[in-house]
Amino acid sequence: MKDLLDAQQHRTTTDHELNGFKISLSREHGKPYAFEKYRDNTTNTHGYYAEGGLVFEGNTLVDYDGVYILPIEVANILESEGYRFAQYVHPLE
């Protein structure tokens, strides 16, 4: 139980808004491990939702899951925070 409580204390979420979307990054010990990208449909637009996991080696994103192509908004946030992308990880442009 103590290990579970310790892990929860080191998890946070940061929220961003880019290109009309809300982006949430879930973090553990400060490093992103998952994302959500969404836009609600309260403004007469179609709702949108995507989520996925992020896998890093050091400061390099080496894999992700949950989506076919990493959303450019997520990539822009990661890049602005100093993260790099493995040669074979291509964000949606």
- Which tens digits make up the pLDDT trace of 56-88? 999 999 999 998 888 989 999 999 999 999 987
Closest among 48, 44, 46, 43 to 21, alpha carbons compared: 48
Q: Does pTM surpass 0.85?
A: no
Q: Rounded to whole angstroms, what are the CA distances from 19 to 9, 22, 39, 55?
A: 31, 8, 10, 24
- Does residue 5 surpass a pLDDT of 70? no
Please give the pLDDT value at position 4: 47
Q: Domain-by-domain residue ranges, the chain?
A: 2-85
Please give the pLDDT value at position 59: 93
Task: Pick 4 or 32 by higher pLDDT.
Answer: 32
Please give the pLDDT value at position 2: 52
